[in-house]
Amino acid sequence: MRTIGDEFPKFQLRALSGLSIGEMTAENAFIDINGETYAERWKVIFFYPMDFTFICPTEILGFASLYQDFQRRNAQILACSTDSEYAHWAWRKHSPRLSEIPFPLLSDMSRSLSQALGVINPTNGVAQRALFIVDPQNIIRFVMVTDENVGRSPEETLRVLDALQTKALCPCSWTKGQKTIDAFGTNI
């Protein structure tokens, strides 16, 4: 598995755009996204097992609820599964709660990105519930993988992004606005 300090792999994937279902047309619903699409931005890329499941929509909705907070931190959210972009569209269209998701849903049907990152579940062949925070230089700065039965916390992801962006030493449970640690002076 790729880990902290590794370069995030190059990729080119088809995605369902982050437009609301009502705004989508044949011309703008599906887009191509590659490793350079969001150059000079932080990226929060989270993988989920499959569309039309139970935990996955709770995570997607959680990240959507904090989308503007991530945007204010110069971070782009990307969700990814091994489903097709058409399955993403059908899922969002079928579920009114998902109709307004503001970020793209990447389709990794070939499993090229999931395999390059080492996040394919060997039992069922779908992406594991993995999350990567990638800096603007395309270096992985945070990795988390949970059991497929355990959802992630978008709030914790935002807290970690804040800590990474300080470039300082951040103590346990540090949150934005708190003091960081000065290793050569006064601690906390």
User: Within 10 A of 69 (CB to CB), how many other CB atoms are there?
Assistant: 14
Tokens describing residue 28: 């703008």
Q: Which of 56, 80, 170, 172 is catalytic?
A: 56
Strand order of the β-sheet with 129-134 is 30-34, 12-16, 105-107, 75-81, 42-47, 129-134, 140-146
How open is the CA angle 136-112-28, to the nearest 5 degrees? 70
Q: How far apart are CA 90 and CA 140, in angstroms?
A: 31
The verdict on whether 80 is a catalytic residue reads no
> How far does the chain reach from its first CA to its final CA, in angstroms?
34
Q: How many helices (H) and strands (E) does the chain have?
A: 5, 7
Check residue 164 and report its DSSP letter. Answer: H
Report strand pairing: 105-107 vs 30-34. Answer: unpaired
Residues carrying an active site annotation: 56
